[in-house]
A and B are shown apart, each in its own frame.
Chain A
């Protein structure tokens, strides 16, 4: 049966049936699909390996011992402009924990999506909410307890250019003037018009996070000048956040999936 052969009368009936079934959530659910997200932390063109030495674009030497961040409130915008938001969208990524570097986003309505948006950090509502579990549990090494709230990004390591040899960047804070919540929309890879979500194929979106981009952007960061944030929101954290909002994440490629 095709629409071409339907009379106006039966078309109206069909519409009625569609309306009826929409009221009954057990039957026809809208078709949905899954997107796998894979995060690869890199330093410029090289993969990030903890304990290995790299150099920043400004020429400082850095060795990373810890690199963690929280991605939240993932949204996908469709080619028709509608926006789908992942419910309970909080993902903690730790370089030291392989499993944390990939996750699946489920129940996305099928369709063609042209934009990915997410927050680096945690919205202020959850920063002031009660005890959380999962990615936001306060025992994940990403929480300040006396000035309470989440640490959005942690970079720790060593550098010969740092006055005490250490790098300790703990970026967080959700109150003005030291609000470091940043929302980004990295572009789809050149030549990719959209991301197709379908019932039978699970595409894989490969995000890269380039540690070098923490040190460049609106402010060039030299380890001799800024090797540590205070363990609370401050002006230095805002500089770091502005840098990493400008370019930490890029969508490297998308596998269409099988």
Chain B
């Protein structure tokens, strides 16, 4: 935890004390902080700060059980964890599109889930504005979990174990939607990724060395990519068209939310943390490798009326010219964003 600052979480500490006071086995709990209660020093201020849902062990563990429980889906076959797998930063390993109940394929690529506290809006089109209400989208989507919120609550309320755990935390019965959503948010808000080799490098910590190729890659990245993939979150949280398509008949992206024609084909700039593991890439998973992504920026960008101005060059050509050397260096740099602490933290794995 060297180099990280513990946020002054009075409320969280109080909640922790309270839990400790009413749980006799509290002293055998591992002493580490509940994931999500520590804010990395090199990140901007969070959007969904810990004070909004103060992390405590019991709530976090409840959220964890719910995240991995297929009871949230209509036929009990699909959990959040089916499409969001820890080993690949909670993206879906090797899948362009993810199957929901009865194998129904969705329409977009499952993104990595990381640093969700800092997301101003969620989903590729920004359709959801708050982490707490995000689960309503997959739960009710017919192609994903195909359930209704009242029915999920009926199932949870029929489980003595869940009733006991919710009541212990929230002090009331029956389990309501706010309790369910806040418990889930406490778990997903804990997916902090801030311990990659790159992070150690920028924070000047032990182990934070980048080799020559990685450093050259970082320089190219800062010059050519960081205007959109900005800050140490590697996204400026805007929606942009990076030149994948000429027309958007199937998925108009941001325009599908705002109904504004000038936003057709705009998608959320994704974070690039752990990007070496989250293939395939883009909102529809069209590219299999990072090499293909870099080829796209170099010579694959296509014209459309909403193409981002940064991908238009003064001479009328499109894209970001990258030499073979620059592409190799960029790839080397992108690999320094892999964060073993997120990928292997046992506290984020399915509960035993």
Contact = CB atoms under 8 A, between A and B. Distances in A.
B178 A131 contact: yes
A234 B148 CA distance: 25
B130 A145 contact: no
B129 A139 contact: no
Nearest to B122: A148
Contacts of A149: 129
B174 to A, nearest CB: 12
Contacts of B141: 145-146
B132 A131 contact: yes
A130 B52 contact: yes
A130 B132 contact: yes
A143 B259 contact: no
Contacts of A139: 148-150, 153, 177
Interface of A: 127-133, 137-139, 143, 145-149, 175, 177-178, 232-235
B224 interface: no
B88 to A, nearest CB: 24
Q: Is the interface of B mostly helix, strand, loop or mixed?
A: helix
Contacts of B176: 133, 137
B150 A178 contact: no
A146 B150 contact: no
A128 B178 contact: no
Contact of A148 (B127, B177, B182): B127
B136 interface: yes
Nearest to A235: B259
A148 B137 contact: yes
A257 to B, nearest CB: 34
B185 interface: yes
Interface in B86-136: 123, 127-133, 136
A138 B133 contact: yes
Q: 5 smallest A-B Cβ distances: which pairs?
A: A130-B132, A145-B136, A131-B181, A128-B129, A139-B149
14 contacts: A128-B130, A130-B132, A130-B185, A131-B178, A131-B181, A131-B185, A139-B153, A139-B177, A146-B140, A146-B141, A147-B256, A148-B128, A148-B129, A178-B259
A58 to B, nearest CB: 27
A175 B127 CA distance: 12
B178 A132 contact: yes
Contact of A232 (B130, B136, B259): B259
Given A146-B123, A148-B137, A127 B129 contact: yes
Interface residues of B, number: 31
B259 A138 contact: no
Contacts of B148: 139
Nearest to A141: B150
B252 interface: no
B145 to A, nearest CB: 11
Interface string B167-182: 0000000001110011
A146 B128 contact: yes
Nearest to A146: B137
Given A131-B177, A133-B176, A147 B257 contact: yes
A146 B129 CA distance: 10
B258 interface: yes
A175 B129 contact: no
Contact of A145 (B52, B140, B178, B260): B140
Nearest to B139: A145
B53 interface: yes
Contact of A233 (B131, B140, B178, B259): B259
A56 B294 CA distance: 60
Contacts of B137: 145-146, 148
A56 to B, nearest CB: 27
Contacts of A133: 176-178
A98 to B, nearest CB: 20
Q: From B129, B132, B150, B181, name the one whose CB has the most chain A CB atoms within 10 angstroms.
A: B129
Contacts of B177: 131, 133, 137-139
Given A131-B182, A133-B176, A145 B133 contact: yes
B181 A130 contact: yes
Contacts of A138: 133, 136, 149, 177, 181
B318 to A, nearest CB: 30
Contact of A130 (B133, B139, B257, B260): B133
A232 B257 contact: yes
Nearest to A130: B132
Nearest to B149: A139
A86 B310 CA distance: 49
Contacts of A129: 130
Interface in B213-254: none
